[in-house]
Amino acid sequence: MNTLNVASLHFEHTVWVKELSFYKEQIKLYADRVEELTKKNNHQKIREELTQFKNQFIAQNEVIDTLNHKIKLQEEELVAAEKENPIKASKTKFEDQEGMYSEMAKFHSIYNELKVKFLRFCEEWM
């Protein structure tokens, strides 16, 4: 397992939070598009698929909220370690966030697959 210093972990957390914020904004745009398309279409098959996309976007927002919460907890642990003993914390190598790397990679993969499917759906039906 790799180890990282506090500054590197803070940086990773900042990057992840900003990435998740970006994805949340994208999901809002896609969810708005789903609503717009739902209002314009009365074909049952299309509406069912749009409902599935809506539900998947809601689920991805929940994943983002969970990831943000985990990042916040990890960040609080780092801050507490720094407050307790700033010199020791600055010299300590912490275990890297392998679990978070894995969760972020999984989120990226699922989200990107969903985004591509939705955009293809829009191209095909709209």
Band of residue 3 on the pLDDT scale cut at 50, 70, 90:
low
- Residue 2: pLDDT band with limits 50, 70, 90: low
How are the residues of the chain apportioned to helix, strand and coil, as percentages rounded to the nearest 5? Answer: 85, 5, 10
Q: What is the pTM of this model?
A: 0.85
How many domains is the chain built from? 1
Other CB atoms closer than 10 Å to residue 126's CB: what's the count? 11
CA dihedral 45, 50, 51, 57 (to 10 degrees): 150
Residue 82 pLDDT class (50, 70, 90 cuts):
low
Give the domain extent around 86.
3-125
